[in-house]
Structure 1
Amino acid sequence: MPRTDPLPPVPAAPETERPPSVPSPLIRAFPTAPPPPEPPVEVADDGTEQTSAASRAPGSAEPGAAGGEGAADAARRGARAPGRREQRYQETRARIVDAAAELFAERGFDSVSVVEIAKRAGVVEKTVFNHFPMKEGLVFDADPPMREALLDAVRTRPSGESVSAAAGSFVVAAVGLLGAPEAADGVARMARVIRGSRTLQVREREILGELTDALAGLIAEETRAWPGQVEPWLAAHAVLGLYASLLELARDRVLAGVTGPELSGELRRQGRRGLALLQFGLAGYAKRR
């Protein structure tokens, strides 16, 4: 006997509206953080420190050089250095991420040491920590791209649309992208790694908590809620609860071999059912005036 949905259907938003910035907001698929501000010293791949050319006084001599260089020459050389340094930074970062992904897939997150990651990437341990202060950072972005994209979806929603509708629709669209064929291998690989590590599961919950706090803070600011008012937190927890549920469903289905249009359709259907529940209880809250 066919199962009937107890909740009213919610029309799908056009997919051209508020496209999510990345298919997997929590999982690190590639290096996304910009390089840090240029320091006065350069750290080579072997961990040694070298004085930056840009940090030397104009006109001072290079070590071992026959004579000093002019300020204009130093300025030109210093202006070229950041581009080369950034390229080296990104190349080294990519090698570290790739090496970590291979090792985690082979043996699991908790069984792999940073020393092993450094060795496979061809760098020293210090270099890995220069790029990723926490080992978990090799799997999760410390500041997921989803944060600003989700908050922007709420800030730019049209008049008359509730927070739960705007944020919930964004979440459903974002998770629906996990069904793309090109995302299947990455989702399945990271699902195995995360589910095999208590450390990563705890970190993922922390990140979801931070996203919830950010959304609740925005809602509280917009509605001028007084300290301790429960509605902003309730709305934020509901939206991020929907996200967490859909993310786990995506992992379950990908590990079971379901990908492509079938998975995307299932994620969107389940997402709309969850969104219907949010709308039923929260549709009248925080409408833009």
Structure 2
Amino acid sequence: MMIEENPGPGSGEGTAEPAPTLRERKKRETRQRISDEATMLFVARGFDQVTVAEIAKAAQVSTMTVFNHFPRKEDLYLDRIPEVVELVTAAVRDRAADESPLAALRALLLGLLDQGHPLAAVSDGYPHFWRIVLDSPALRARAREGVEEVELALGDAMYASDPAGDRPDPRFAAALTVAAYRAVYVATAGRLLAGDRAADVADDHRSRVNEAFDALERALYGTTA
């Protein structure tokens, strides 16, 4: 689901990416059209009341095309899980030589907040998004799976960045990091669902991110950043 139009941060400053081919552009456009049509149907009728066949018809594609872009119906709504995985792994993989994985992840999360990126979850549009998730057992289950996917990918990235094992156990570090940020994220979502405005929540969210990473630094390295 596309809540905002803000682009995500690049994987490296000053890195020029090759322009997408016509085939790649058409593929992206088709994926976006499917996602947009699915979102409108889910908002209007609820996730569980909409079929993939109805989404395909609205997007003017075949059901097979929908599944080629989105392996499961739940991925039509929670379509940013792969982006989360890429962002956190890139932050660890592409960090400076003298920067710890936790410092890179802290910078990423604070940067997303500064940009108003959808993945920061500090937006007045998010309560509606999460109410749809909360109303669907299938979406809640997929969201939990998404958290597990992020944790696994982050553990892999942390291990790959330090195979000699000079830092804390990467799986343990990844699990603690994901759990800590999940606690921050849930607290922020709870305030927004309760009616607080994003502008009034942003500073508290920033403070909670910093407090969480200070605690992680102490737990994993015995220091604070």
Could you tell me the TM-score, scaled by structure 1's length?
A: 0.59
1:113 CA drift (Å): 1.0
In terms of fraction of residues, the more helix-rich structure is: 2
CA distance in 1, matches of 2:110, 2:27: 35
Local SS of the residue matching 1:134: coil
For residues 169-208 of structure 1, the aligned pairs below 5 Å read: 169-175=107-113, 177=116, 183-185=123-125, 187-208=126-147
Q: Using a 3 Å threshold, how does the CA distance of structure 1 residues 195 and 143 change in structure 2: closer, same or farther? A: closer
In structure 1, list runs of 5 or more residues that go unmatched: 1-26, 33-81
CA distance in 2, matches of 1:215, 1:182: 23
For residues 62-73 of structure 1, the aligned pairs below 5 Å read: none
1:138 CA drift (Å): 0.7
Q: Would the aligned equivalents of 1:181 and 1:260 in 2 still touch at CA under 8 Å? A: no
How many pairs are equivalent? 207
CA distance in 1, matches of 2:29, 2:57: 16
CA distance in 2, matches of 1:157, 1:259: 33
Q: Which residue of 2 aligns with 1:116?
A: 54
In structure 2, list runs of 5 or more residues that go unmatched: 8-20
Rg (Cα) greater in structure: 1
Q: Would the aligned equivalents of 2:192 and 2:198 in 1 still touch at CA under 8 Å? A: no
Local SS of the residue matching 1:184: coil
The answer to which structure, 1 or 2, has the higher relative contact order (CA under 8 A, 6+ apart) is 1
1:77-120 deviation digits (Å, cap 9, x = unpaired)? xxxxx73x655544443332222111211232122111222233
Which one is further off, 169-178 or 136-145? 169-178
CA distance in 2, matches of 1:263, 1:178: 15
1:146 CA drift (Å): 2.7
Q: Which residue of 2 aligns with 1:101?
A: 39
CA distance in 2, matches of 1:184, 1:174: 16
1:203-223 deviation digits (Å, cap 9, x = unpaired)? 222222122112212222333
Q: Which residue of 1 aligns with 2:183?
A: 245
Q: Using a 3 Å threshold, how does the CA distance of structure 1 residues 252 and 175 change in structure 2: closer, same or farther? A: farther
**RMSD (Å), alpha carbons:** 3.5
For residues 54-93 of structure 1, the aligned pairs below 5 Å read: 83=22, 88-93=26-31
Q: Does 1:216 align with 2:151?
A: no
Q: Using a 3 Å threshold, how does the CA distance of structure 1 residues 242 and 169 change in structure 2: closer, same or farther? A: farther
Could you tell me the TM-score, scaled by structure 2's length?
A: 0.74
Local SS of the residue matching 2:47: coil
Q: Using a 3 Å threshold, how does the CA distance of structure 1 residues 280 and 189 change in structure 2: closer, same or farther? A: same
The percent identity for this pair of structures is 32
Q: Would the aligned equivalents of 1:175 and 1:243 in 2 still touch at CA under 8 Å? A: no
